[in-house]
Structure 1
Amino acid sequence: MDLSTPFRGSAAVRAGATTRRRLDGPTFDRLGYDTYVAAATVLDLRGRATAAALAVPGSVVGGHAAADILGADCAPRNAIVELVVGRRRVRPRAGVRLRQDVLTDEEVTPYEGVTVTSPLRTMFDLACTLDHDEAVVAVDALAHRYRLDPGLLLAYPAARENPRGGRRFAAVVADADARAESRPETLARLLMRRAGLTPTPQLPVYDAWGVFVGRLDFAWEDCKLGGEYQGDHHRTDRDQWLRDASRTADFASCGWSILPITSDDVFRRPAEFVRRTRAAVDARRRELAARSR
């Protein structure tokens, strides 16, 4: 039994993993009713959600915490834990949002010791409640992780009970794309889309012999310009930097020019990023047009 993640004290005692006396001592931190973890453990969102769910028997983890537990990387670092508790009244808890809602059996799933909202229900909830861009990030992440069509949300039964939220997530679905592989990729795509620069996401590239070369994060196929998102580790990790250089050379051998996209472009200088991207696309099109004369 792993005592470095939140656990039921009574279950750990029954399993012989610890004793009641040790639970009350300095070896463990008490997180809530019959809920403990090894002392000094720093809990991430998944750990906080697990602890909250254990302390409220019968609850279901929802929202960003459910997405995180389900393996979709879309939650902000400070995301609050959301618990769905049915129609009952539950005492408020610090750092936990309690939601009174009744879920069907199809809308919940057991996952790694807790019960969470299903991927589709989690998509629906986040699409209805988050700001537009963050909602698209969440839908992209869950749709990509579980190979779901975002369009399924348009026919989701709960939409009929939430017309206001339904109008909001219709716009989210229109902007969502299950091919996105990260939050920065989604946000970069939204920036480009609003500027009228709409690349193809995750385009596979093959050489003249039909051998797979790589997959471009973004591609303007008409001018063979690719955009590649490079997080900070692409700069600080030498091995990753060498792999990036090799990939760029491979794409160049197939006639593709690569435009690097950084976190600063997306999060700090979006207007400059859009201007630079538009200039790169226009220049590439002029270059290929001149070659064809």
Structure 2
Amino acid sequence: MTIPGWPEVFRGTAALAAGLVTPDLLRGPRFRRLLPDTYAPADAHADLRLRSLAAYLWAGPDAVLCGYSAAEVLGASCAPRAAPAEVAVTAVRAGPRSRDGVVVRRDVLDPDEVTGVRGVRVTTRLRTAFDLARWSGPTEGVVAVDALSRGSFAPDVLLNLAARHTHARGVRRVVDALVWADPRAGSPPETRLRLVLVRGGLPRPVPQHPVLDDARRTALWLDLAYPDHRLGIEYDGGGHFATPEAARADAGRHTRLVAAGWRVLRYTALDMHRRPDEIVAEVGQVLDHSRRDAGQRAVEIDRSR
């Protein structure tokens, strides 16, 4: 006999009924209780995905994972740190209530706004983007739309849902998010860095821009780029230097970009948090220098004719 979620996350009563565990074993060191009657192996990392699956089982048969939980299960991770699990239920009065670590939402979901992922009901990528755009702040809403639309749908399609759910709370935020969204973004930090630049008054950079390496017959991809100025902007999450091999590969990549005539500026999450104005000033200064140099070259060419 099998039970939903076993052995990753499961209802204790179901596991007991199936003879998979005993009461003493369930209370012992091998398992941890995530929610009432909802357990996981003690050594399992209680990340958002695991906590979301636990919330799905705990909330009952009518539950649908939504918001950041749906994004996680759909493979479009974009949640801020310590985000709670989110689950939608159709019952207005009955059913579970929000509790520590779990947000229970009561909302209208049309049949075409729900899909299944390995036996778990979740809101579709489109509905999840719509919800997160209207529930989140002006930056994280764009981050969510970028992450969920990547390789899936054009962000403007969200206007159809906005028209369908005109009275939904926060629907105006969806329209605002579309002004800044770009499905080419490679990751949530790259979206946040792009927003620092464009909201600071700089031109829109090109996300995931390829720089051809003819000698190696490959391409070097820049997180953000101003191709006309041969300027790349990259998010440095620390993984570049995680191992000596990674550090050497990153140094070689940077050398090839410089050899191709590119200048690359790199910023961390701490930079974006503490000094966004300085980032805008630094990038703007490089762009201004590039424009002046281009203008000077144009004058020199004109004089030589």
Q: Does 1:251 align with 2:254?
A: no
Contact residue 59 and residue 96 of structure 2 kept, 8 A: no
Amino acid at match of 1:175: W
Contact residue 159 and residue 165 of structure 1 kept, 8 A: no
Q: Does 1:61 align with 2:65?
A: yes
Shift of 1:164: 5.9
Shift of the 35–209 alpha-carbon distance from structure 1 to 2, 3 Å rule, reads closer
- Indicate the SS of the match to 2:172: helix
12, 27, 36: which is aligned to 1:9?
A: 12
Amino acid at match of 2:72: D
- Aligned partners of 2:78 and 2:263: how far apart in 1? 30
161, 180, 186: which is aligned to 1:181?
A: 186
- Runs of 5+ consecutive residues of structure 2 not aligned to the other structure: 301-305
Q: Does 1:43 align with 2:49?
A: no
Question: Match of 2:174?
Answer: 169
- Aligned partners of 2:275 and 2:36: how far apart in 1? 47
- Indicate the SS of the match to 1:252: helix
Shift of 1:266: 1.5
Cα RMSD (Å): 2.6
Question: Match of 1:108?
Answer: 114
Shift of the 252–40 alpha-carbon distance from structure 1 to 2, 3 Å rule, reads closer
Q: Does 1:52 align with 2:49?
A: no
Q: Does 1:70 align with 2:65?
A: no
Moved more, 228-237 or 52-61: 228-237
Q: Does 1:197 align with 2:203?
A: yes
- Aligned partners of 2:218 and 2:139: how far apart in 1? 33
- Aligned partners of 1:158 and 1:114: how far apart in 2? 28
Moved more, 258-267 or 8-17: 8-17
TM-score (norm. length: structure 2): 0.85
- Aligned partners of 1:226 and 1:29: how far apart in 2? 46
- Aligned partners of 2:9 and 2:292: how far apart in 1? 59
Question: Match of 1:121?
Answer: 127
Shift of 1:254: 2.6
Contact residue 133 and residue 141 of structure 2 kept, 8 A: yes
Shift of the 209–24 alpha-carbon distance from structure 1 to 2, 3 Å rule, reads closer
- Indicate the SS of the match to 1:205: strand
- Indicate the SS of the match to 2:107: coil
- Indicate the SS of the match to 1:222: helix
In the TM superposition, what are the counterparts of 1:222-261 in structure 2 within 5 Å?
Answer: 222-261=228-267
Total equivalences in the alignment: 292
- Runs of 5+ consecutive residues of structure 1 not aligned to the other structure: none
71, 78, 85: which is aligned to 1:81?
A: 85
Contact residue 150 and residue 178 of structure 1 kept, 8 A: yes
Q: Does 1:156 align with 2:161?
A: yes
Shift of 1:200: 1.3
Shift of the 230–40 alpha-carbon distance from structure 1 to 2, 3 Å rule, reads closer
Q: Does 1:27 align with 2:30?
A: yes
Shift of 1:44: 1.2
- Aligned partners of 2:38 and 2:11: how far apart in 1? 5
Amino acid at match of 1:256: W
Shift of 1:222: 1.6
Shift of 1:183: 1.7
Contact residue 162 and residue 171 of structure 2 kept, 8 A: no
Shift of 1:18: 2.7
Question: Match of 1:218?
Answer: 224
Q: Does 1:266 align with 2:272?
A: yes
Moved more, 53-62 or 7-16: 7-16
- Aligned partners of 1:110 and 1:208: how far apart in 2? 44
